[in-house]
Amino acid sequence: MGYTNREIAAKLYVTPSTVEQHLTRVYRKLKIQRRQDLPSFLWPNASKAG
């Protein structure tokens, strides 16, 4: 949704470091390299919606 790690942390009442650690684990499990790959991995047909 375009939130930064700092914005996510504030909404969840955790530190930005905690958000980064969780994201790192998610990326590793999903075998992706960066945040931009996440939506296309989770919603492969999202770009086709119109």
- What is the domain range of residue 24? 1-35
Residue 5 lies in a domain: yes
Please list, residue by residue across 21-39, b when 16 or more beta carbons sit within 10 angstroms of its beta carbon and e when fewer do: eeeeeebeeeeeeeeeeee
Q: In angstroms, how far is CA 5 from the centroid of its own chain?
A: 9
**Residue 42 pLDDT grade (very low, low, confident, very high; cuts 50, 70, 90):** confident
Domain contains 23: yes
CA distance 4 to 1: 9
**How many domains are there within the chain?**
1
Residue 43 placed within a domain: no
Q: Has residue 49 got a pLDDT over 80?
A: no
Structure tokens at 37: 């790959």
Average pLDDT over residues 14-27: 96
Give pTM, 2 decimals.
0.72
pLDDT over 90 at 43, yes or no: no
For a pLDDT cut of 70, what percent of the chain falls above it? 86
Question: Is 10 domain-assigned?
Answer: yes
- Tell me whether residue 19 is in a domain: yes
Cα–Cα distance, 19 to 41 (Å, whole number)? 19
Residue 48, in any domain of the structure: no
Q: Is residue 24 part of a domain?
A: yes
